[in-house]
A and B are shown apart, each in its own frame.
Chain A
Amino acid sequence: MRVTALFKRIVLQLVRDKRTLALLFLAPLLILTLMHLLFTSNEVPSSIGVIGGSFEIVERLEDQDFEVTVIEETTTLKKLVEEQDLDGILKIDGEKLQLTLENTDPSQTKMLQAKLQQVLSLTQDRTSIEMAYVYGNENTSFFDVLSPILVGFFVFFFVFLISGIGLLRERMTGTLERLLSTPIKRWEIVMGYLLGYGLFAVIQTIIVVLYAINVLDMVLKGSMWHVLLINLLIALVALSLGILLSSFATSEFQMIQFIPLVIIPQVFFTGIIPISGMPEWLQMFSNVMPISYGANALKSVMYKGQGLGDVQFDILALMGFAVVFIVLNIVALKKHRKI
C-alpha cells in the first residue's frame, strides 16, 4: 500500500518532468545514433582508374561498387590521379599489375587495397572464394561489436544518474525526513523507489533496444527477450547503486562527481579494451564492476547469439550486485531515521 503510493508519486513526478524524461529516453538514442554513424561511415574509397584492363575486369570491379574510369595510357600516373580526382589507378599490363594510390589517408588506402586484391584474385583465378566468419559477416563494423556494450552502458548510466538525483532531491528538500516521520518502513521506501524508477528503466530499456535493433540495424543473433532481461538487470543494479551513492552526496553537483569515479572506470572494463591483455591485478577490478558482467552477457546474446544458459554466471552476478545494493540502501536510510 505505502509502496504503491510511493510508486505512483514517483511516476507522477517524473511524468511531469518532461526534460528528465527526454534525457532518459532520447539521449541514449541520440548518442547511439551518433556512434553508429561514426563507426559505420568507413566507406572504402572507390573511384579508380583502370588502364589496359579487359572489359571483364572493368565489369567485375563495377560489380563490386567501384567507380571505374577507363583511361588511355599516359606516362605520369601520379599526375593523373590528382587531375581526375581518383582514389587510385590500376594499370594492367598482361600479367603485370600496377596500383597507384592517392594515399592521403593510410587506413582508407589499406581498405581499398584489400578490396581490390579481393576482386582481382576472383577474376584471375576464375574461382569464387568463399569467406567464412566465426562471428559477424563481411559487413561487420566496429560498431557491431561495440553496440551491445553501449546499449548496456547507456541504460546503466542514465538510470544511475536520474534515480540517484531523485532520492537526493527528496533528501535536500526535506521531504525524505517528512516521509520518515510517517510509519513507513525503510524497506518500503527502497521498494517504492525501485518500482517507480524501475518502470521508467523498463520503458527506457525497451526503447533503446528496439531502436538499436530496428533503426540502427544492430546485430541481434540471440533473443530479444534475453536482451531485455539482461538490460533490466543492469537497470536494477544502476538504480540501487544510484540511490545508494546519493546518500553520500549532499548536492546534485556531488552526484555528478560520482561519474568519473563510478561510471568511467567501468567503461574500461566492459570489454571495449580487451581485459585479457591487462595485468592480472588490474583484471581483478573487472570482477567488482557490474557493467562488465552486463556487457559480457549482452555481447554473448546479441553478437554471438548465445542463450541465457551461457550467460547465467553474468546474470547471477548482476542479481547479486542488486541484492547487495538494495540491502545497503535499507541500512543507509538508518542515517535519517534510527528505526
Chain B
Amino acid sequence: MSILQVSNVTKSYGKHSILSDVEFSAEEGQIVGLIGPSGSGKTTLIKLIVGMDVPTTGSVDMLGERVPNLGLLKKIGYMAQSDSLYHDLTGYENLTFFASMFLMSKREVKERIAYVTQLVQLESALKKRVSTYSGGMKRRLSLAIALIQNPQILILDEPTVGIDPELRKSIWTELVRLKVEEQKTILVTTHVMDEAEKCDVLTMIREGRVITTGSPQELKAIYDVTNLEDVFLKAGGEAHARHSSL
C-alpha cells in the first residue's frame, strides 16, 4: 500500500480551476519529485496533501488515513516555500518552539535539536537571532524544523530555491541519506531539472494537470530524449494537444 495516494484531485476557487484530476502516489523510502513551472499548481497540491486545504473533488490518503487529519500532521515534516521563521527569536528558540508543538519530552527535544542542527550544520549559529542569518542559513534552519519531530514523511516545497550550489548539493546528499538510512518518504517540488534527476519518481505538472509520471530513466526512454527538460517539453506538448482536442 502506498504511503501517499492522491486520487482524482480537483481544486478550484470559484470558477478558477487550479488543479484538475491529479493522480499520483508515493511509496516508502522514495523521493518523489513534483516538477512544474511556477504557477502550475504545485504549492496548492502540497497544501492539499498536508491538509491545510481540502480538495474540491477527489481525495488524499496518507499512511492509510484520509487527509485532512490533525493526527497525521505529527508524521509530516513540512517545509514551506518561504522561510517561515520567527526572526526575532534565535535558531534554538525557533526549534524549541516547533518541537513543543509535537508535545515531545524535554530530553527528546534536546536530542532532536542536537541531531537536526548537526545535520544541517547550524550548531555554531544556534544562539544567534534568525534576523542575522543569511538566506542559506534560514533555509537550513527551515529544513531542521521540518525534521524536528522525526517525521515519516517529508514534504518540501522548493527546498533549494535561492541557495548556493554547494549548499544545494549538501541538502540533496542529506535527503538521499534520509531516504536510504531512515526509510523516509520525501515529496519535493522543484523546477530545477538536475534536482529532478535525483528523484526516484517524477510527476510532471502543467497548468494543474499531471502530464506524465515515471522514474527519470523511464521518462527519458519513453520520450526518447536525453534530458528531463526535453521530457517536460515533449510531454507537455502532447498533453496540451490531447487536452485541446477534447
Contact = CB atoms under 8 A, between A and B. Distances in A.
Contacts of A8: 97
A184 B100 CA distance: 10
Interface in B26-69: 50-54, 68-69
Given A174-B80, A174-B84, A339 B70 contact: yes
Contacts of B103: 1-2
Interface in B59-108: 68-71, 73-74, 76, 78, 80, 82-89, 93, 96-98, 100-103
A173 B84 contact: yes
Contacts of A180: 52
A79 interface: no
A175 B68 CA distance: 19
A178 B73 CA distance: 11
Interface stretch (A11-19, A236-244, A307-315): A11-19
Interface string A158-201: 00000000000000011101111111110000000000000000
A323 B231 CA distance: 57
A337 interface: yes
B84 A182 contact: no
Interface of B: 50-54, 68-71, 73-74, 76, 78, 80, 82-89, 93, 96-98, 100-103, 145
A9 interface: yes
Interface of A: 1-2, 4-5, 8-9, 12-13, 16-17, 173-175, 177-185, 336-339
A12 B83 CA distance: 20
Nearest to A338: B54
B155 to A, nearest CB: 9
A174 B145 CA distance: 14
The 8 A-B residue pairs with the shortest CB-CB distance, nearest first, are: A178-B84, A5-B100, A174-B84, A182-B101, A339-B68, A181-B78, A174-B82, A183-B73
Contacts of A4: 100
Contacts of B73: 181-183
B103 to A, nearest CB: 6
A16 B131 CA distance: 12
12 contacts: A2-B100, A16-B88, A16-B89, A173-B84, A173-B85, A174-B80, A174-B83, A177-B80, A178-B84, A337-B51, A337-B68, A338-B51
Nearest to A8: B97
Nearest to B70: A183
Given A13-B88, A183-B70, A336-B52, 11 more contacts: A2-B100, A2-B103, A17-B88, A173-B85, A173-B87, A174-B83, A175-B86, A178-B145, A182-B98, A337-B51, A339-B69
A11 to B, nearest CB: 11
Contact of A183 (B52, B74, B80): B74
Contacts of B50: 181
B54 to A, nearest CB: 5
Nearest to B101: A182
The interface centre, meaning the residue of B83, B88, B96 with most chain A CB atoms within 10 A of its CB, is: B88
B85 A181 contact: no
Nearest to A173: B84
Given A175-B85, A178-B80, A183-B70, A337 B52 contact: yes
Contacts of B80: 174, 177-178, 181
Nearest to A337: B52
A178 B46 CA distance: 13
Contacts of B93: 9, 12
Given A13-B89, A338-B68, A177 B84 contact: yes
Contacts of B87: 173
Nearest to B129: A16
A5 B68 CA distance: 24
Nearest to A16: B88
B14 to A, nearest CB: 15
Given A1-B103, A182-B102, A183-B102, A13 B54 contact: no
B93 to A, nearest CB: 7
Q: Which among A177, A178, A185, A339 has the highest number of chain B CB atoms within 10 Å?
A: A178
B88 A183 contact: no
B100 A1 contact: yes
B51 A339 contact: yes
Nearest to B46: A181
A189 to B, nearest CB: 10
A8 B101 CA distance: 12
Contacts of A2: 100-101, 103
A330 B91 CA distance: 29
Nearest to B145: A178
Contacts of B96: 5
